Amino acid sequence: MIAAPAMEPLVPALVMEVMAPAYRDPELEALLSRDNDEERSTLVTLLRNAAAAGQTDPALDPDDTAAWVMALIAALHTGAATAPSFNPADQLPTLRLILHRFLRPDATPKPER
């Protein structure tokens, strides 16, 4: 699962510690970007395949949708690193529900009359 690293006790804080220096260190930024690009590419492929199979809303742009999914998962890291009472594992059911509702094939809003 793509959100699994956020469940590890040390990972969210480590991610936060690495992000700030990455903006000043081109080599570190390139390394993180490569990993991010690979993750995003995998998500885009999964989303395209799911839409083609009728499992997700075909009106969703796979690239934009992947960006939002990754942003939600990043929020697990941020929450775990900045709020002692935030437990990513406890939040997984809510994250799954949000994604399920967002991605479902019948989620395209009907035009208002």
Per-residue confidence (pLDDT) for residue 18, from 0 to 100:
61
Per-residue confidence (pLDDT) for residue 46, from 0 to 100:
95
Per-residue confidence (pLDDT) for residue 37, from 0 to 100:
87
Task: Find where tokens 């406890």 sit.
Answer: 90
Per-residue confidence (pLDDT) for residue 14, from 0 to 100:
60
pTM: 0.71
Return per-residue pLDDT of the chain as tens, 113 residues: 555 555 555 555 566 666 667 667 777 677 777 878 888 999 999 999 999 999 999 999 999 999 999 899 888 878 877 788 888 888 889 998 999 999 998 866 655 65
Per-residue confidence (pLDDT) for residue 29, from 0 to 100:
73
